[in-house]
Amino acid sequence: MANLPSVPAGDDLPIVVIAGRPNVGKSTLFNRLVGRRQALVADTPGVTRDRKEAEAVVRGRRVRLIDTAGLEEAAPDTLYGRMRASSESAVAQADLVVFCIDARAGITPADTHFAAWIRRQGRPVLLVANKAEGRQGAAAAMEAFALGLGTPLAISAEHGEGLSELMGEIADRMPPEAPPEPVEPVEYGEDGEELDERPPGPLRLAIVGRPNAGKSTLLNRLLGEERMITGPEPGLTRDSVTVLLHDEHGPIQLVDTAGLRRRARVEDGLEKMSTSATIEALKMAEVVVLVLDATLGVHEQDLQIARLIEREGRCCVLALNKWDAVEDRIATRQAISDRIETSLAQMRGIPVVSFSALTGANVQKLLPVVRRAHEVWNKRVPTGALNRWFEMMLERHSPPLVSGRRLKLRYMTQAKARPPTFILFGTRAELLPEDYQRYLVNGLREEFDLPGTPIRLLLRGTR
Ligand code: GDP
Ligand code: GDP
């Protein structure tokens, strides 16, 4: 569609339109994206009463954001008619339509109807599944594939989840900037506040492991000797503490340190590792350091904790503590690596660090490994490269026959990061046998350098 004169002269910002049926969270998202820079809400005479527009900065790029919410009441007719009327002129000018659905409600007939209409408009569309907070959210979001508008991006506008990813996706779809002007400092507010996206925030780290593995000693070591009180005096510890560490990349927040402190006070031998406490810590964390007493080798309970970490989709760093007390280091390292490789195949390449929390030797190696693991967990693989690799994998080994018929696998896309989650589309793809899934997951790990992190592969059968 040709450029319709729609915005004030001299303003040639790319236009991003937020569309979707009423109540999916469009206004909430609009406010989130605009942040505090809501000064520019303007009427567009002759179009609608109160079309909400504002300038937003997305990854350093200025865009004009249009919220189509609240316009439905203005138009008569059916719900569909109202949605269409409210969006028609906005969508016609859009450089990008952000089409929202409500992941909690699932796909409604109104979504389907509206999506079909949006598709016919021929504008670039980014599908967003809002209200997808929490773990069930992402799964529910995947239902939105059925709309035929591409891979849904799970977000929660209200809770601020997935917004950074969303802004990346929006920025990627903006027309090239011409002429290439440097981003003006004015975009960043007087006191350096975030305006274009949430500040990265501290990396959230949990330290877990069996009793006596050396978790408290490690924590003390990381914090500097004096900072943590491990003594038995009652009343000295408080339950909710935020413990921040800093390395050269910024802050790291230690989660569940209160629980760690409580447990650390219990006398040796009496303490039972509580699975629920570990799970609580895992849920709050991004990276989990699993501390092992290296003099004892790998215990079944260590593997159980590692599997919990995998199940929760967190990335894991294995810390071999008490290295000072290990006699044959080469043999010990080998034995532990072998055990891990055979017992934790789903986390192949898990990073391992050995140190002595007691003496402090090599403890400084831990945080760089944590940072690297975090990067891997956050990684996004471009769809082009992914599918070139995928075709090569299909050529190397054809997908197996299932009840006499060959599965037709079509393409893959990365639905999300944290942990890396891929979706595989194809006719009857949902029937893909596990060994072929493993072949693909192991291949992904190697090709795209994803060691140690959990990788999710979702199968989507198409007709
Ligand atoms: P609109 O009609 O599409 O503009 O929707 P609103 O932005 O007015 O939101 C509709 C309702 O959904 C409000 O009650 C919001 O508080 C709620 N909402 C918006 N975003 C989220 C979200 O991410 N999670 C949840 N649980 N509720 C949300
Ligand atoms: P937690 O139960 O996992 O918090 O373990 P603690 O930090 O309380 O440590 C349990 C015991 O192991 C204590 O007696 C520590 O002194 C000892 N310990 C911790 N780290 C090391 C280490 O690196 N080397 C040695 N030799 N002992 C350690």
CA of 161, nearest ligand number: 1
pLDDT at 93: 82
Eight-state DSSP code of residue 398: P
Structure tokens at 403: 């009840």
Reduced to 3 states, what is the DSSP secondary structure of residue 367? helix
Confidence of residue 419 (pLDDT cuts 50, 70, 90): very high
Cα–Cα distance, 412 to 429 (Å, whole number): 11
**Average pLDDT of every residue of the chain:** 79
What is the 197 CA–ligand 1 centroid distance (Å)?
A: 19
CA of 220, nearest ligand number: 2
**SS3 of 304-366:** HHHHHHHHCCCEEEEEEECHHHCCCHHHHHHHHHHHHHHHCHHHCCCCEEECCCCCCCCHHHH
Atom of ligand 2 nearest to the CA of 260: 4
Candidates 158, 159, 161: which one to mutate for ligand 1, based on the most atoms within 8 Å of Cβ?
Answer: 158
CA of 23, nearest ligand number: 1
User: For ligand 2, atom 10, which residue shows the shortest CA distance?
Assistant: 212
What is the 40 CA–ligand 1 centroid distance (Å)?
A: 22
CA distances from 438 to 170, 331, 346, 457 (A): 32, 30, 9, 9
- Residue 95 assigned as binding residue: no
Cα–Cα distance, 274 to 252 (Å, whole number): 25
Cα–Cα distance, 55 to 53 (Å, whole number): 7
- Residue 322 assigned as binding residue: yes
Q: Which residue has the tokens 């992190």?
A: 453
26 lines ligand 1 (CB under 6 A): yes
CA distances from 250 to 196, 244, 321, 368, 375 (A): 19, 10, 25, 12, 14
CA atoms within 13 A on the CB side of 442: 11
Atom of ligand 1 nearest to the CA of 28: 7
Q: Considering only 40-54, 180-194, 254-268, which range has the smallest mean pLDDT?
A: 180-194
- Please work out, in degrees rounded to the nearest 5, the angle formed at the alpha carbon of residue 134 by the alpha carbons of 130 and 135: 110
Structure tokens at 160: 């601020």
What is the 214 CA–ligand 2 centroid distance (Å)?
A: 4
Reduced to 3 states, what is the DSSP secondary structure of residue 236? coil
What is the 156 CA–ligand 1 centroid distance (Å)?
A: 9
What is the 332 CA–ligand 2 centroid distance (Å)?
A: 18
Cα–Cα distance, 287 to 283 (Å, whole number): 10
pLDDT at 150: 86
Query: With contact defined as beta carbons under 8 Å apart, do 442 and 388 qualify?
Result: no
- Residue 338 assigned as binding residue: no
- 218-248 burial, b if ≥16 CB within 10 A, otherwise e? bbbbbeeeeebeeeeeeeebeeeeebebeee
CA of 260, nearest ligand number: 2
Q: 10 Å Cβ neighbour count for 448?
A: 19
25 lines ligand 1 (CB under 6 A): yes
Tens of pLDDT, residue by residue over 381-396, are: 988 899 999 999 999 9
Reference 448, options 399, 368, 392, 397; nearest CA is 392
pLDDT at 361: 95
428 lines ligand 1 (CB under 6 A): no
Reference 19, options 123, 174, 163; nearest CA is 123
Q: Considering only 90-94, 196-200, 320-324, 401-405, which range has the smallest mean pLDDT?
A: 196-200
User: For ligand 1, atom 17, which residue shows the shortest CA distance?
Assistant: 25
Q: Which residue has the higher pLDDT, 64 or 36?
A: 64
Structure tokens at 432: 């893909």
What is the 217 CA–ligand 2 centroid distance (Å)?
A: 6
**Share above pLDDT 70 across residues of the chain, in percent, rounded to a whole number:** 76
22 lines ligand 1 (CB under 6 A): yes
156 lines ligand 1 (CB under 6 A): yes
Q: What ipTM score was computed for the predicted complex, to two decimals?
A: 0.54
105 lines ligand 1 (CB under 6 A): no
In degrees to the nearest 10, what's the CA dihedral of 391, 397, 398, 402? Answer: -130
pLDDT at 83: 64
Residues in contact with ligand 2 by the CB-under-6-Å rule are: 209, 211-217, 264, 321-322, 324-325, 356-358
**Share above pLDDT 90 across residues of the chain, in percent, rounded to a whole number:** 36
Instruction: Kindly report whether the peptide bond that precedes residue 454 is cis, defined as omega within 30 degrees of 0.
Output: no
Cα–Cα distance, 130 to 358 (Å, whole number): 47
- Residue 408 assigned as binding residue: no
- Residue 215 assigned as binding residue: yes
CA of 357, nearest ligand number: 2
pTM (two decimals): 0.56
Tens of pLDDT, residue by residue over 337-351, are: 999 989 998 888 999
Residue 40 has pLDDT above 50, yes or no: no
- Residue 211 assigned as binding residue: yes
What is the 155 CA–ligand 1 centroid distance (Å)?
A: 12
